Amino acid sequence: MPVYCGRRNRLGSSAHNCGVDRIVLEGMSFQGRHGVRPAEREQPQEFKVDVEVDSDLSAAGNSDRIEDTVDYRQVRAITKEVIEGESQKLLETLAARIADRVLQLPRVGGVSVRISKRPESMQPIVAAAVRINRTRA
């Protein structure tokens, strides 16, 4: 008999050491015009984005209904809109805007956003990146 977080098992004890369920969208790639230097905002550059969404996925696991989970398509659409939208100077601003909007979706308890880019002015470098974590208030 499976034990789910927050539920009692057949012996009456609650589950221990249960982690948070998480949806992970990894390696999304979009073009945007962001950076501190004006040259970074003149030509589009590639931004890689990972978004992790904390949510109780037990209902969706039992029902197989999209209505019982966080729709990945909405998370991706938010991310795309922010990265391809209005130019910003800081990766921190982009990550915060994505996180704030994802937290407004139903069933989202927390979100982690990682954004990276390869600024020409900093070559050779694999990536410059920020990662922020936010939870619902």
| Structure-token match 């109780």, residue found | 56
Q: Tell me, yes or no, if 117 is annotated catalytic.
A: yes
Cα angle 19-21-24, degrees, rounded to a multiple of 5? 125
Cα-only R_g, the chain:
18
- Residues 6 or more apart whose CB falls under 8 angstroms from that of 49 comprise 25, 28, 29, 30, 79, 83, 98, 113, 114, 115, 116
Q: 48, 80, 89, 117: which is the annotated catalytic residue?
A: 117
Active site residue ranges: 117
